[in-house]
Amino acid sequence: MTFWLNSVSVGIVLGTPLAYAALGELIAERAGVMNLGVEGMMLIGAVVGFIVTVRTQNAFLGMAGAVVAGAALASVHAVMTVGLRVNQIVMGLTLTILGAGLSAYLGAGYAGRRPGGEINAIPIPVLSQLPVIGSVLFNHDVFVYAVPFIAIGIWLLIYRTRFGLWLRAAGEQPGAADASGVPVFLIRYLAVIVGGGFAGLAGAYFSVVYTRSWAEGMTGGRGWIAIALVIFGTWNPIVVLVGALIFGFVDGLNFQLQSVGVPVSSHLLAMMPYVFTLVVLIITWTRLRRRRVGMPEALGLPYEREAR
């Protein structure tokens, strides 16, 4: 019983950064821009967040720095793909490689150091005293608590506001949206940059909050899992959040199984999230193809006003 409770608790913590990164990607994709640079933006966020935390001894400043860094790298993606209409796939991959290189370069002197500031768990009064679920659900840091509200907020933004309608229009029918006065380019720029900020935050969650250390390539491909999560979540923020928590749980099981001494190689256990993602991806995709739900119609296509 404690084994499963611990797994759920760890799963929530590990699912949180996945959720941030995936929600960021969702915003960009809803506007019609695929950002395959999430992994690079997470790494840049992780290293900048860590460096700022070490320098200022304030972990919240570190997280803010990470958001800015992720958004800065994403703005390159925005200028290139929205402004210059460069192939989104190539640009995203290049930014992932650039982010990996830059973060390794910047973080060279920081491996093995401890950040000064920290972000503590805040037990919620009363609720955290509940038997069984209290410590599992209500004894986390502020970023964990915020994530369901952010997911609901994004849902409301997309489906219940004028801006959300514009966002969807830019991702579904940019030509029609542009003709009816929606600022398609502005929305695409904003969506990509905000999405990058989310990725930066997700990366810093690993370095500043979770492991409290920096190591080269420390996000270990979770940026790609975040991209896959948007697909299983059928571009719906609530489903994406649930998906992220399930993946966090699978990821966390690995550590839990190791700590109870399951006689399976830790490397094989560490494969679980990737294999699980692949299997679920294949199943969801087969289903998606039949109904074509969710995927923005103009995803991956640059919008050319002249070619309308």
Partner 1 sequence: MRIAVPVAAVVAGLVAGGVILALGGHDPIDAYNSMWEGSLGSSDGIEATLIKACPLVLTGLAVATALRIGLWNIGGEGQLIIGATAATGVGLYATSLPGPLVLPAMIFAGCLAGAMWATIAAIPRALIGLNEIIVTLFLNYIAILLMDHLIFGPWADPKAFGFAYSRSLPDAAVLPVIPGSYVHVGIVIAVLVAVTCWWLMERTPWGFSVRVAGGNARTAEYLGLHISRRMVIVLALSGAIAGLAGAIELTGVTNRLQDGISVNYGYSGVLIAFLARGRLLGVVVAAFLFATLVVGSYALQTTGVAQPIATIIEALIIVFLLAGDAALAFRVHMTRPPHALEPATAGVRS
Residue closer to partner 1 (CB basis): 37 or 197: 37
Binder to partner 1 among 132, 146, 152, 275 (CB under 8 A)? 275
**Cβ closer to partner 1: 9 or 94?**
94
Q: Out of 100, 167, 250, 280, point to the residue binding partner 1 (CB under 8 A).
A: 100
Give the nearer residue to partner 1 in terms of CB position, either 156 or 279. Answer: 279
The least distance separating partner 1 from the CB of residue 22, rounded to whole angstroms, comes to 13
Stretches 64-72, 89-97, 128-136, 239-247: which one binds partner 1 (CB under 8 A)? Answer: 89-97
Q: Which is closer to partner 1, CB of 133 or CB of 268?
A: 268
The site string for partner 1 over 102-141 (x = CB under 8 A, - otherwise) reads x-xx--x---------------------------------
Which position among 282, 293, 305, 308 is part of the footprint of partner 1 (CB under 8 A)? 282
Among 131, 162, 260, 289, binds partner 1 (CB under 8 A): 289
Give the span between the Cα atoms of 270 and 153, in whole angstroms. 33
Using rule CB under 8 A, residue 87 touches partner 1: yes
Q: Does 262 bind partner 1 (CB under 8 A)?
A: no
Contact positions vs partner 1 (CB under 8 A): 34, 36, 76, 80, 84-91, 93-95, 97-98, 100-102, 104-105, 108, 220-221, 224, 227-228, 231, 265, 267-268, 270-271, 274-275, 277-278, 281-282, 285-286, 289, 295, 299-301, 306-307
